[in-house]
Amino acid sequence: QKEVEQNSGPLSVPEGAIASLNCTYSDRGSQSFFWYRQYSGKSPELIMSIYSNGDKEDGRFTAQLNKASQYVSLLIRDSQPSDSATYLCAVNRSGGYQKVTFGTGTKLQVIP
């Protein structure tokens, strides 16, 4: 079992719709969770971090964390073509000093 699992996609959504990206992790002691966005040929950039159960909203983005079920999700409301990118889920493993494990990413395509 991979430490951090994501569906590779592509996930296609029409412009204006809600895109839902999911991630599961295996280490129950994980404490910090991140979503990075990576445009093709570019480096990852952080868009959301979440540390406690529940929802965290930032503009059109909402991160959701459920530690009991070991999943974290990212919702993108009013999806725009500029949101088309690969979204990487990252998890800070327990005991891992400032080290995170990345999932392989989900490719999102927003269709105009």
Partner 1 sequence: NAGVTQTPKFQVLKTGQSMTLQCAQDMNHNSMYWYRQDPGMGLRLIYYSASEGTTDKGEVPNGYNVSRLNKREFSLRLESAAPSQTSVYFCASNPGRGSSETQYFGPGTRLLVL
Residue ranges in contact with partner 1 by CB under 8 A? 4, 8, 32, 34, 42-46, 49, 88, 90, 92, 97-105
Nearer to partner 1, 8 or 94 (CB): 8
Min. distance of Cβ 94 from partner 1 in angstroms? 13
Min. distance of Cβ 87 from partner 1 in angstroms? 12
Helices (H), 16-59: none
Nearer to partner 1, 28 or 99 (CB): 99
Please give the backbone phi and psi of residue 70, each rounded to the nearest 5 degrees, phi first: 60, 50
Amino acid at the residue 49: S
